[in-house]
Each structure stands twice: as structure tokens, then as C-alpha cells.
């Protein structure tokens, strides 16, 4: 029997866990320095700016495809709502910012459609 890898038989695995004092197969904590989560200053504002740029690009595409401003607004509002579904009850990164609210998206779409026409 090879002892360099986990056994395939569940009973052998149970025997090994019991012999090791009940610990799991990989019991030593492992740290990965590249897995450290850091937040950059201004990260939330940058994420909002990126999302707004994406919404502008999508609105311009929808305008070129012949969508009405109301249809484009409805489509982009639904897409933004889906991106933040379900919303976080505790705040944090998964809460939909006010800058990406329904009224803000409608104003963004109107601006893009005015530029497309003019």
C-alpha cells in the first residue's frame, strides 16, 4: 500500500484518521501569500466607474441595434439588478450602489442616446 497519497477506500481513510488522532488527511494549515485579500484605496469608486462604462457601452450598442431608450433602459436595469442579486443585507461589496440605481441607469441611457442622435 502506498502511503504517499490518500487511500481510496473509505474504511482505510477512517482507519488512518483514527490513527492520526481524528485529524483530517490534510491537517496542517497552509498559507498562500498570493491569496491575501487587500482592498485598494478608491476600489469601490473604481468598480462603479467600470460598471458605468460597461453600461454606456451596452447602451450605445443597443442604440445602434435600434432599441428605443425605454427598452434599452429596461434591459440594462434588469442586467444591473441581476449582477447584484441577491443584494447583501449587511452592506459590503455585493450591495448595489446608488450610482447604478434605476434612475441613474435611465439618465445614463438618455445621455448615450442623445449623443448617438447628435
Query: What is the predicted pLDDT for the residue at 31?
Result: 75
The domain limits of the chain are 41-117
pLDDT digits (tens, 9 = 90+) for 92-105: 667 788 999 999 99
Task: Indicate if the pLDDT at residue 2 is higher than 90.
Answer: no
Task: Indicate if the pLDDT at residue 11 is higher than 80.
Answer: no
- With contact defined as beta carbons under 8 Å apart, do 55 and 112 qualify? no
pLDDT digits (tens, 9 = 90+) for 40-54: 788 889 989 999 999
Query: What is the predicted pLDDT for the residue at 56?
Result: 98
83 CB-near residues (< 8 Å, 6+ apart) = 51, 96
Percent of the chain with pLDDT strictly greater than 70: 72
DSSP string computed for 52-112: HHHHHHHHHHHHHTT--HHHHHHHHHHHHHHHTPSPPTT-STTSPPGGGSHHHHHHHHHHH
Amino acid at each position: 500500500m502506498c502511503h504517499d497519497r490518500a487511500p481510496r477506500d473509505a474504511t482505510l481513510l477512517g482507519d488512518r484518521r483514527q490513527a492520526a488522532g481524528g485529524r483530517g488527511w490534510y491537517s496542517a494549515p497552509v498559507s498562500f501569500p498570493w491569496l491575501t485579500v487587500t482592498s485598494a484605496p478608491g476600489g469601490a469608486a473604481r468598480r462603479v466607474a467600470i460598471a458605468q462604462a460597461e453600461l454606456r457601452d451596452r447602451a450605445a450598442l443597443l442604440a445602434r441595434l435600434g432599441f428605443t431608450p425605454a427598452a434599452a433602459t429596461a434591459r440594462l436595469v434588469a442586467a444591473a439588478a441581476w449582477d447584484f442579486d441577491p443584494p447583501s443585507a449587511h452592506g459590503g461589496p455585493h450591495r448595489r450602489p446608488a450610482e447604478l440605481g434605476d434612475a441613474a441607469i435611465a439618465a445614463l441611457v438618455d445621455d448615450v442616446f442623445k449623443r448617438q442622435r447628435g
